[in-house]
Structure 1
Amino acid sequence: MKTTCIGAFLFGVGMIGMLDGIVFHQILQWHSVNMHTDRFHQIMSDGLFHLIVTLFIFISGVLLWKGDPKVGASKFWGCFLVGAGVFNLIEGITNHHILQVHHVKPGPSQPLYDIAYDLFALLLVVIGWILLRRKSAA
Structure 2
Amino acid sequence: MTKENKNLFVAGFILGLGILGAIDGVVFHQLLQWHHMILSPNIKVEIFTDGLFTAAFSALMVWGAIKIFRDARKHELGHNGNIFLSGILIGGGVFNLVEGIIDHHILQLHRVRPMAENPLMYDLAFLASGVILILIGYWLKNQGQKAHD
**TM-score normalized with structure 2 length:** 0.87
1:85 aligns with 2:96: no
What's 2:11 paired with? Answer: 7
For residues 137 and 75 of structure 1, do their structure 2 counterparts lie closer, same or farther at Cα, with a shift above 3 Å needed? farther
Partner of residue 35, structure 1: 39
For 1:82-121, list aligned pairs within 5 A: 82-107=90-115, 108-121=117-130
Structure 2: tracts of 5 or more residues without a match: none
Q: 1:136 aligns with which of 129, 142, 147?
A: 147
Give the Cα–Cα distance (whole angstroms) in 1 for the partners of residues 133 and 46 of structure 2: 28
Partners of 1:136 and 1:74 lie apart in 2 by 9
2:49 aligned residue (30, 45, 52): 45
Structure-2 separation of matches of 1:79 and 1:15: 12
- Residue in structure 1 matched with residue 80 of structure 2 by the alignment: 72
What residue in structure 2 maps to residue 18 of structure 1?
22
Equivalent residues, number: 138
Displacement after TM superposition at 1:23 (Å): 0.4
Residue 111 of structure 2 aligns with an amino acid whose one-letter code is H
User: RMSD of the TM alignment (CA)?
Assistant: 1.3
CA separation in 1, counterparts of 2:49 and 2:41?
Answer: 10
Larger gyration radius, structure 1 or structure 2: 2
Extract unaligned runs of 5+ from structure 1. none
Question: Percent of counterpart pairs with the same letter?
Answer: 34
